[in-house]
Structure 1
Amino acid sequence: MGFPRDYFYEEDESNVTIGNTYFRSLLTTNKKDRASQIEKTKILSLIYRYLDKFIQFPNLNLPSLKHSGDIEKAALSLREYWGLGVEPIPKYG
């Protein structure tokens, strides 16, 4: 791969707090897949921190949703909050 050997042994400086990661079913998700997801989250955090030095990311604009597990109601609430209506979102570009 061309990477120096030390690259693979560097210190973990991500200091990322991983909260709940949701899988379709915790019963069928094995420990290896959960560990992989945690490592991917750490890598994404490092990439975000790096890019944040050069890019002005927009503020997160999410409503407080209180639809305990009802994804359809949550999606409708979000579309209403963002003023998207109920029709398909048009493709741009």
Structure 2
Amino acid sequence: MLWIIRHSIVASKPVSLISIPIRENSITWGWLVANRPPSTQWLNSEKTFLQQITDQISLAITHVKLMEEKLKREAQIEAAKDANEAKS
């Protein structure tokens, strides 16, 4: 798991940021970024929770891509059937 934790200034206030990549098939689609006061530390349970969120987003992306492929194949099969019927 890759977590980037850093301290930064957001809207003129110091914060502690955590950034977790959203990946699908080794491609980074974006980042989930959360912040909190710099005087507190990120708990392992919080890191795990945020990682689970990015995992679910990655699964959703994969699911959409698979559905698009399925619909494309179904359309190709239907077009081939129509072409065969037109020949008959």
**What TM bracket, shorter-length normalisation?**
0.3 to 0.5
Larger Rg: 2
TM-score (norm 1): 0.31
More helix by share: 2
Structure having greater relative contact order (Cα 8 Å, sep ≥ 6): 2
TM-score (norm 2): 0.33
